Chains A and B, each alone.
Chain A
């Protein structure tokens, strides 16, 4: 577990659970989803944020470390 990849996976496993649980609640409430308009915008916003975090963490954890 004490490897950069192991730690990275652990981080996104724990916080991923938090995120997905929240997402399920938001989807069931109707504020987030595939439906065109605000729900889809909200879904894209939430997922895009995750991608940004993944990209930044991933870049420094696996790429920039060897610059």
Chain B
């Protein structure tokens, strides 16, 4: 499917927030590396996908009624075997069906740990489309260590974003930890910039976390608003 087709499909069913699998497909179309998730319509399918994917896996609820998945008890991490997947499926669905009879789950591989960063796009009322970059979690939320650039970005802008946050020392290897692949982060930032420039109907993108590794980077959770 093309970016336009994915967006049209969501719009046609009255959703302005894409499902995680839709967001993943959209990002893949733009050449952005995503921890791809697949939709399971029932428990058996969840198990089958988990086996195909390889353990450990993550199960997440998939419902337009549940925006904050973790808070709603809709995320189960690090499921090591078939039995754990079945248990997680039932737990998630029990809670989800209280608010949405049509709720489903997605299955994705459990990613190996890396340095958590955030890459986002917001539509500012004064500037229009703006790209954000910061370290994930508390660095952004509590310390406000985040930096913005106007779309479209040049390569020097993406590089400068990575250098200009206070936490950039962490990305460059701190106390013996390996430096992360900043070229991979720059590549994602530039691809997001191009994606939203070519598709102004995208209002918001929140890739959080993106896991940055010594080689490569991977988007673990993607939220896209149209």
Partners in one complex: no
Interface, chain B (partner A; CB < 8 A):
none
